[in-house]
Amino acid sequence: MIKYVFLALIFILTTYIGSIYGSTFKKRLVQLKNLEDSLMTLEHQITYVMTPLPDGIKYIAEKSKKPLQDYYMEVYKIIESGRADSPYEAFVTAYDKEKNNLNLKEEDMEIVFDFGKNLGQTSVEGQQKIFTLILERIKKQIKFKEEECVKNEKLYKYLGVCSGIMIVIFLI
């Protein structure tokens, strides 16, 4: 009897692990969409409301969902304290501090880092073009990650179930 309970626990555990690992793809996709929304808001704040960059970053930090909220708040603190010479440095430094909380990968953040390199260097019209370019890159990344999410989320769930079945069969 104890053997069957143990086998059931192994099966449930491997299925759960597969589901958890598969859900990281969905979390990454959700954070990419939140990143897109926050950058659209920042674009509006900078180009139409004429909000200074630190205040715009603070505004999107307040409007964003965690963990992006923490990331943007860290960027704001770095810019406000003068610990960074450019927005790029602030974005990179904040990412180094918050990367364990974010599901975004380095390739996702490269878009934000490129954005930080050009932020504040041009006129308002130039800023609008930069925002348009960055938002297009994020949309492409989202489209690619949606396809990857559907494929990999199922894959890891099935892998968890199949590995559980395999272990149970070996132990019987």
pLDDT tens across 141-161, in order?
899 888 888 888 889 889 999
Buried b (16+ CB within 10 A) or exposed e, 106-135: eebbebbebbbebbeeeeeeebeebbeebb
H or E element, residue 52 = none
Q: What is the pLDDT of residue 41?
A: 92
Of 89, 85, 96, 103, nearest to 145 by C-alpha is 103
Q: How far apart are CA 76 and CA 87, in angstroms?
A: 10
* Per-residue model confidence (pLDDT) at position 12: 92
Look at residue 59 in the predicted model and tell me its pLDDT.
92
Q: Of 28, 15, 32, give the one whose Cα is nearest residue 139.
A: 32
The tally of CA atoms less than 13 A away on the side-chain side of residue 40 is 11
Residues 6+ away with beta carbon under 8 Å from 130: 115, 118, 119, 122
Q: If you compute the radius of gyration of the chain from its CA atoms, what whole number of angstroms results?
A: 21
Residue 47 confidence (pLDDT): 84
Please tell me the predicted confidence (pLDDT) of residue 34. Answer: 92
What is the predicted pLDDT for the residue at 107? 86
Predicted TM-score (pTM) of this structure: 0.81
Q: Which two tokens stand for residue 114?
A: 């490129």
What is the model's pLDDT at position 15? 92
Upstream peptide bond of 67 is cis (omega within 30 degrees of 0)? yes
Task: Extract the tokens encoding 156.
Answer: 């890891």
Helices 106-118, 2-47: inter-axial angle, 10-degree rounding: 10
**pLDDT of the residue at 52:** 84
pLDDT at 128: 85
Stretches in the chain below the pLDDT threshold 50: none
Q: Which amino acid is at 143?
A: K
Give CA–CA dist 76/168, Å, rounded: 51
